[in-house]
Amino acid sequence: MTVRRDFKEPARCRPDLVIGREEPFADAREQLARGGSVLLHGPAGIGKSTVLRALAAENARAAPTVLRCSATESESHLPFLALADLFGLVLDRVSGALPAAQRTALESALTGRGESTLQRDGLALRLAVLSTLRALAAEGPVLVVADDLQWLDSASAELLGFAARRLGDTPVQMLCAVRTEGQEEYDRHLRACPPDTRVVRLGPFSRVQVSTLLDHRGYTGLSRTTVRDIHRTSGGNPLFALELGRALAESPTRPRPGEPLPVPTSLRALVLSRLEMLSDEARRTLLVASAGARPTPALLHAAGRDHAEEETAQAAALGLLATDPEEPALRFAHPLISAALYAEAPAHERRAAHAALSTAASDPIERARHLALATTGTDPEVAARLAEAAALARDRGAPSVAASLGLLAARHTPVDPPADGAPAGTEPGRGVPGPDERRLQAAEDAITAGEVDLARDIAREVLTRATVPAERVRAWMVVIEAAGQALGEVDAVYPQVLADAGDDPRLLALVHYQLAWREVVVDGDFVKARQETAHAAELAARGGDRRTELMALAFQSSTETLMGHPDAPATIERALQEPQDPDVACHHNGAASARFRWLLMSDQLPEARRSITGLLREARRRGMVESEVHFLRLLADTELRSGHCGRALDLTRESLRLARDSGIGESASAMLASLAEASGGDVDRALALAREAADHAEVDGDQLYLSLALAALGYAQLVAGDAAAAVRSLRRVRELEHGMGINDPARGRWHGDLAEALVRIGEPGEAQELINVTRAHAQRLDRSSVLAVLDRAEALVRAARGEHEAARAQLTSAQDRFARLGLGLEEARAAFVLARLRARGPGPAPYDEAARLFRRCRALPWLRQVDAAVAAGPVEPETAPAASPAALDGLASMERQVASLVMEGATNREIARLFISVKTVEATLTRVYRKLGIRSRVDIVRLAAGRRTK
């Protein structure tokens, strides 16, 4: 495939900026840093030149001499041209170092003066190139940068290869790029590179990378659905994606449902030249194939293409179709070929192709789609068939297809007013849905499929003209759902939708259900949210809307669970009573999901795992993308609590990829990915993900997930060894949850981490106070694992006070309980703390058990802490501070007051009530520590004890 070089450069282009190539770029950078050479390869437009330029710019600073060449197809027949590009400007610097015969042959080849050829002067030329590179390398490292190696003239390629194989330890590196279509086509080009060359393949972009590239180049107004189409049509090729994005940006109208993207002339030229070599009949056959979803020879025969085999064989010989004996379906060599072929065809030929496929296709969904695209104007029969096909796609778990078919159905549905006596919003005289009702169904399917931008656009369009209250409320519900966690952005919607709902209990139930979510997410008020959900359930029951009633009851049970309300189990049972709605049964906010959370918080991990695995399987079967994102995350949470850190890491990464791809649940997925990374992956990545999640939640005004994100951040900071930062993050979590009325400590399980961090910074009094308050809630709710975590934290408090025997006994008990509950990571953490306490004395440090348990969990960050502790050796037993008790008398007045309160066990926050602020107390304590030559509050307590014994 030949790519022209006359593309328009999109806005904000930075040729040296590498997007979506972080991993191959890092591989190439590492190879170059070691002094090796790199060969980049991949198909046309994949971004080889961009990566090459960025690497060359980065490495040119370390190489005094940079030799460059960039070959073109039109010049590839000219001998020695690439050699002239490389050496033309430096020959004068080294010509004196070359033997006369070599210098003469090289000058003749580079200048064209004389009759130098490889056949006549082969050895002299080969040695001249080698000698030139060695002479340049004597002055400093040399970097040879060669782009489009496939167009290198054969003479230059032969000479470079000869020298490259003989450079040895000479500091000459090569950075080359070559166009290849397959995986192994670079072999012959390696002959022009040194033996140690690393081959780096640039593959297609993911959908997220295509989206990032389009945003960077200024194409920011594209919906996720459009980006998905661009990714599919471009095959992930960044150049093709940019050209398609530019064509869309310049087009006055967007493609209608079912229609492919407009293909710009610049891209059509890639394939149209080969299409001209096809016969007219073969071209028509390929057009039918491009219009089909999975074209086969049998389908083409059924569509009237009698010579399909011969015509497709002709196309395959021209490289338009990819052949695979094991695959019966015909496949275009690149999606762009199909798109360009379809875009170039006249409208009447496209309709004829779809008309033929509407009877030839075996699948009813495909037949309906082709019938729609073959039909112009409204047609009630076509619309009805499309609506039936949409319902079938919905049942098959393909909501995205259902949304597309629903929009086609709406497009073909007549818009005349209903006949007398027919319900509003229905087709005249038929009692079937009207166009806006079909659009709303398509919007709801798009929500299910995770295409929230499409859903929002459809709903907003309906609201511009709908007058029927039921349609307006339904459209408002889509707008609110599409807002995701950013419910504060749609605050103005609620008064309007309440007005549209009037006094209809079915419509009001929908509104109050959404108001309950607003209370939780925006205001963080669980008490009001519970009242709203109960009201929504009662209204839905009165209006006979079982689906909304079940959703409201499930949400009510979730709020009660987090509040520690005693009615939570009973409400879950009500939500699970028959009759059930199949969509609610596997919804991420349904009763089964609420029951899973109850199981997880009650430490019933095996049952929780079975429950969430079944929900995930059903969500995938139904194509419920948002639920899939949530269930992947919840399954990861279950695995993490079980101590399966590697499995949790894989699941959270999958959830995060899907969340970013769909734009759904990004904050929540980043939050749990942070927990998994801090436990079993990379702590720096954990910190970045937690901050990302917190930033998302702050922007969305989502207090519910902000508290969870900050809890993840505090945990990552604790694992990273920054106890002071962990205290700051987790204190804020405590404030947020207190304000929201969340009393169940099993919700975020951050309390033990905060207590541990407080002990580390010398605040055992505050840690004990937190433990006491949390323990009361955990005992009331029978949260066994939370009680064990609190005992582990309290053991740290006791150890800080010198009560080592009691601390060891408490840790041993906690570790045993963690083991019985199946909480592998918590068990390992308890063993680690116990080992640290036992290491305070002579003899080898007893870390083997902790290391074994962390290794079983694949908890790599914690294993690194064990290794560091072993390397540090035995911990010296804590002794009383060097300062004498009398030194307390030398403190300033405020310093003595603060120290005295510390001796009495007061926390910084309690002391601050008597002074200006917590910061003032902290600053005063810092001065006290410095003056007394001590390190913590514990040392002050010991000084006080020494004073009392005298």
- DSSP per-residue codes, 546-595: HHHHHHHHHHHHHHHHHHT-TTHHHHHHHHTPSS--HHHHT-TTSHHHHH
Single-letter amino acid, residue 787: L
Give 142's DSSP letter. E
Weakest-pLDDT range from 184-198, 454-468, 585-599: 184-198
Q: Which helix (H) or strand (E) element contains residue 315?
A: helix 308-317
User: What gap in Å lies between CA 713 and CA 729, rounded to an integer?
Assistant: 7
**Residue 791 · residue 752 · CB < 8 Å:** no
**According to the model, what pLDDT value does residue 449 have?**
86
Split at pLDDT 50, 70, 90, the class of 114 is low
DSSP helix/strand/coil, 18: coil
- Encode pLDDT of 661-720 as tens digits: 777 888 889 999 999 999 999 999 999 999 999 988 888 788 888 999 999 999 999 999
List phi, psi (to 5°) of 66: -120, 120
What average pLDDT does this structure show over 857-864? 94
For residue 332, the cross-strand partners are 321
List phi, psi (to 5°) of 431: 65, 25
What average pLDDT does this structure show over 360-383? 91
DSSP helix/strand/coil, 198: strand
First vs last C-alpha separation in the chain: 92
Q: Does pLDDT of 303 surpass 70?
A: yes
Give 151's DSSP letter. G
User: What gap in Å lies between CA 688 and CA 677, rounded to an integer?
Assistant: 10
- Give the dihedral of Cα atoms 484, 485, 486, 491; nearest 10 deg: 90
User: What gap in Å lies between CA 120 and CA 128, rounded to an integer?
Assistant: 14
**According to the model, what pLDDT value does residue 1 have?**
33
**According to the model, what pLDDT value does residue 944 have?**
63
What average pLDDT does this structure show over 94-113? 82
What average pLDDT does this structure show over 47-69? 89
List phi, psi (to 5°) of 199: -90, 125
For residue 147, the cross-strand partners are 70
**According to the model, what pLDDT value does residue 770 have?**
95
What average pLDDT does this structure show over 456-469? 93
User: What gap in Å lies between CA 864 and CA 812, rounded to an integer?
Assistant: 23
User: What gap in Å lies between CA 587 and CA 846, rounded to an integer?
Assistant: 48
What average pLDDT does this structure show over 54-59? 90
CB atoms within 10 A of CB 61: 8
Q: Does pLDDT of 889 surpass 70?
A: no
For residue 353, the cross-strand partners are none
**Residue 153 · residue 81 · CB < 8 Å:** yes
Cα–Cα distance list, 828 to 120, 505, 799, 814 (Å): 75, 53, 19, 11
Q: Which helix (H) or strand (E) element contains residue 173?
A: strand 172-179
**According to the model, what pLDDT value does residue 754 have?**
96
For residue 146, the cross-strand partners are 69, 176
What average pLDDT does this structure show over 275-280? 83
Split at pLDDT 50, 70, 90, the class of 553 is very high
CB atoms within 10 A of CB 16: 11
**According to the model, what pLDDT value does residue 755 have?**
95
In this structure, the strands spanning 38-42 and 172-179 are parallel
Cα–Cα distance list, 370 to 124, 256, 303, 389 (Å): 68, 14, 12, 11
Cα–Cα distance list, 288 to 284, 285, 305, 354, 422 (Å): 6, 5, 9, 7, 41
Q: Does pLDDT of 105 surpass 60?
A: yes
pLDDT above 90: percentage of residues in the chain: 45
**According to the model, what pLDDT value does residue 285 have?**
93
- Encode pLDDT of 377-430 as tens digits: 899 999 999 999 999 998 888 888 899 999 999 999 998 644 444 444 444 444
User: What gap in Å lies between CA 310 and CA 42, rounded to an integer?
Assistant: 31
Split at pLDDT 50, 70, 90, the class of 469 is very high
Q: Does pLDDT of 649 surpass 90?
A: yes
- DSSP alpha helix (H) spans, 783-914: 784-800, 804-821, 824-838, 848-857, 860-872, 893-903, 908-912
Residue 37, phi-psi category: left (phi > 0), alpha (psi -120 to 50), beta (remainder) = beta
Better pLDDT: 747 or 477 = 477
User: What gap in Å lies between CA 495 and CA 472, rounded to an integer?
Assistant: 13
User: What gap in Å lies between CA 768 and CA 127, rounded to an integer?
Assistant: 80
User: What gap in Å lies between CA 78 and CA 153, rounded to an integer?
Assistant: 6
**According to the model, what pLDDT value does residue 418 have?**
47
List phi, psi (to 5°) of 913: -65, -25
Residue-wise DSSP of 38-100: EEEEESTTSSHHHHHHHHHHHHHTT-SEEEEEE--GGGTTSTTHHHHHHHTTTHHHHGGGS-H
User: What gap in Å lies between CA 766 and CA 763, rounded to an integer?
Assistant: 6
- Encode pLDDT of 143-166 as tens digits: 999 998 888 888 888 889 899 889
Q: Crossing angle of helices 452-463/224-234, nearest 10°? A: 130
Q: Does pLDDT of 875 surpass 80?
A: no
Better pLDDT: 423 or 654 = 654
Weakest-pLDDT range from 98-112, 420-434, 473-487, 824-838: 420-434
Give 523's DSSP letter. I
Residue-averaged pLDDT of the chain? 85
Which two three-digit tokens encode residue 151?
């167009």
Instruction: Give which of 657, 707, 713 is closest to 683, Cα–Cα.
Output: 713
List phi, psi (to 5°) of 744: -85, 110
**According to the model, what pLDDT value does residue 503 have?**
94
**According to the model, what pLDDT value does residue 9 have?**
38
Better pLDDT: 780 or 948 = 780
What average pLDDT does this structure show over 210-215? 87
Q: Does pLDDT of 7 surpass 50?
A: no
Q: Which residues contact 531 (CB under 8 A, 6 or more apart)?
A: none
- Encode pLDDT of 568-587 as tens digits: 899 999 999 999 888 888 89
**According to the model, what pLDDT value does residue 431 have?**
60
- DSSP alpha helix (H) spans, 217-264: 224-234, 238-250
User: What gap in Å lies between CA 631 and CA 483, rounded to an integer?
Assistant: 20
Give 318's DSSP letter. T
- DSSP alpha helix (H) spans, 623-750: 625-641, 645-662, 666-680, 683-700, 703-719, 723-740
Better pLDDT: 448 or 221 = 448
**Residue 403 · residue 445 · CB < 8 Å:** yes
Break the chain down into helix, strand, coil percent, rounded to 5.
Answer: 65, 5, 30
Which two three-digit tokens encode residue 777?
């809630």
Cα–Cα distance list, 586 to 313, 602, 613, 651 (Å): 47, 21, 11, 19
